[in-house]
Structure 1
Amino acid sequence: MNNKRVITFGTFDVFHIGHLNILERCASLGHTLIVGVSSDMLNYSKKNRNPIYPQNDRLKIVQSLSFVDEVFFEESLEKKREYIKFYKADILAMGDDWQGKFDEFSDVCDVVYFPRTPSISTTKIIEIAKGI
């Protein structure tokens, strides 16, 4: 039996099939899936805009998935190593839009990048909804 603990991070705003696909892939790597949901403050600092859905709603959506075991708010990009260690993660899994950016954590866990679902992104969905 695979007892590995997998951790991943994301904003998960305007939850869509791409989010579901990557979280399912992450869950397939181990026994426990831990998801760090970017706080509203962190999201604003990364993207210079607030998410469409507030952090508590985004956390509740991710938490409702049957294959997600633990969810927490990611407050800082600089704390990824701390989160990995705190949750005793064996694997960090991310979308390949982050390819190579988290290799520095390979000293504390395996790092895996998954291909993103083609032709879907939160930014595109928001632009369509706003008529941009």
Structure 2
Amino acid sequence: MSNIITFGTFDVFHVGHLNILKRAKSLGNRLFVGVSSDALNFQKKGRYPVYEEYDRMSIISGIKYVDVVFLEESLDLKVSYIQKYNADILVMGDDWKGKFDHFSSFAKIIYLERTPTVSTTSIIEVIKKC
């Protein structure tokens, strides 16, 4: 079996997050999950997450499919994380399709289809309207 690694913000946890973690875990025996730091999320998206990084890490660590949770502090460290956790497969949502192909010499890259009709951004927008 293989070591699997994935990354995400995992803010306002929803069924789409659960689905990708479950499907990622089904590809190997150990799942390592990098949760984007608050600062990294701001850098990527121009906003801070609703939940702070340690709360998000706590939520992800409580998911039965997840073996190890760590804080992802920089996009530039992806190869280091892949190597540190001896990951054989990097799993990302298909909204990132093609963006991680250059890591294929370090791990097999698999893009999983996102759960349709659910996204953190859309959930936040619905909440704002309430």
| Structure 2 gap segments, 5+ residues each | none
Supply the distance in 2 between the matched residues of 1:31 and 1:20 (Cα, whole angstroms).
17
Supply the distance in 1 between the matched residues of 2:38 and 2:22 (Cα, whole angstroms).
24
Instruction: Select which of 77, 80, 86 maps to 1:88.
Output: 86
Within-5 A mapping of 1:2-21:
2=1, 4-21=2-19
Supply the distance in 2 between the matched residues of 1:45 and 1:13 (Cα, whole angstroms).
15
SS at match of 2:91: strand
Per-residue deviation, residues 73-119 of structure 1 (Å, max 9, x unmatched): 00001110111011110000000000010001110110000000000
Determine whether 1:49 maps to 2:47: yes
| TM-score, L = length of structure 1 | 0.97
Cα RMSD (Å): 0.9
Per-residue deviation, residues 11-52 of structure 1 (Å, max 9, x unmatched): 000000000000101000000000000000000111111100
Instruction: Select which of 118, 121, 131 maps to 2:119.
Output: 121
Q: Hey, which bits of structure 1, 4+ residues long, moved more than 3 A?
A: none
Supply the distance in 1 between the matched residues of 2:114 and 2:63 (Cα, whole angstroms).
19
Supply the distance in 2 between the matched residues of 1:42 and 1:110 (Cα, whole angstroms).
24
Which residue of the partner structure matches residue 105 of structure 2? 107
Supply the distance in 2 between the matched residues of 1:33 and 1:127 (Cα, whole angstroms).
31
Supply the distance in 1 between the matched residues of 2:80 and 2:129 (Cα, whole angstroms).
40
Amino acid corresponding to residue 111 of structure 2 in structure 1: Y
SS at match of 1:14: coil
Percent identity of equivalent pairs: 58
| TM-score, L = length of structure 2 | 0.98
SS at match of 2:115: coil
Within-5 A mapping of 1:52-91:
52-91=50-89
Supply the distance in 1 between the matched residues of 2:103 and 2:48 (Cα, whole angstroms).
28
Count of paired positions:
130
Amino acid corresponding to residue 73 of structure 2 in structure 1: E
